[in-house]
Chains A and B, each alone.
Chain A
């Protein structure tokens, strides 16, 4: 799996957009970018994933640069409940989910009132 680099921590004011960057300069053509988050003392939660096109769902948007060497997860209107550690994971498509995930250190996002 390609290595990812994320900032250790970020702050965001409640109601504002939270933009979480991830660098994955060694990503290969068949690798997807996945984002998970882990709220304190809970199991990880899937957020979104993409290959090369930008993606949006009810939780977030994923912007992938044209060269695919970096991406940004956007939480459009952060709430206090979005405070969590966010993990950017690059790997081949999890077909049938039969592959373990390699969690790096992630970004600890603190949403403040």
Chain B
């Protein structure tokens, strides 16, 4: 299966700053990556779907200008939380799906990034 990493694993920032989270597929080329968000004691909620080389598709209620997604290569997608506020504090998880030339029956998730906005 695929190995997915995220960086950083944990970040604390001041309100109003921007934070970039990286999601890397280490051992296969991912044409599709997903970004989820999880608030404390809640389930994962899909934020957006990113396809390599095209614009991300955002779920209803997710501001595309606030959560910038860049899927620049088949192994890297980034999520930038712009002008972060305390209500953006959450656990952000990426998953990798869609491999060129391969068929998988499961999705592969990163370890998550804990964002705390003060």
Taking Cβ atoms with an 8 Å cutoff, the residues of A that contact B are 34, 38, 41-46, 49, 87, 93-106
Contact = CB atoms under 8 A, between A and B. Distances in A.
User: Across chains A and B, which 9 residue pairs bring their CB atoms closest together, nearest first?
Assistant: A97-B97, A43-B109, A98-B98, A46-B106, A103-B44, A97-B104, A103-B43, A100-B46, A44-B109
Contact of B104 (A34, A42, A45, A94): A94
Nearest to B112: A43
B97 A42 contact: no
If over half of A's interface residues share one DSSP class (helix, strand or loop), that class is named, otherwise mixed; here it is loop
Given A46-B106, A49-B106, A105-B43, 9 more contacts: A43-B4, A49-B105, A96-B104, A97-B104, A98-B32, A100-B34, A103-B44, A104-B43, A106-B43
B105 A93 contact: yes
Interface residues of B, number: 31
A97 B49 contact: no
21 contacts: A34-B106, A42-B112, A43-B4, A43-B110, A43-B111, A44-B95, A44-B109, A46-B108, A94-B97, A94-B105, A96-B31, A96-B97, A96-B99, A97-B99, A97-B105, A100-B46, A101-B46, A103-B43, A103-B44, A103-B45, A105-B43
Nearest to A99: B97
Contact of A94 (B31, B43, B93, B106): B106
Contact of A46 (B43, B44, B107, B111): B107
Contacts of B93: 43-44
Interface in B75-118: 91, 93, 95-99, 102-112, 114
Interface of B: 1, 4, 6, 31-32, 34, 36, 43-46, 49, 91, 93, 95-99, 102-112, 114
A38 B49 CA distance: 21
A41 B97 contact: no
Contacts of A42: 111-112
A98 B111 contact: no
A112 to B, nearest CB: 20
A70 to B, nearest CB: 20
Nearest to A42: B111
Given A41-B91, A43-B110, A44-B93, A97 B32 contact: yes
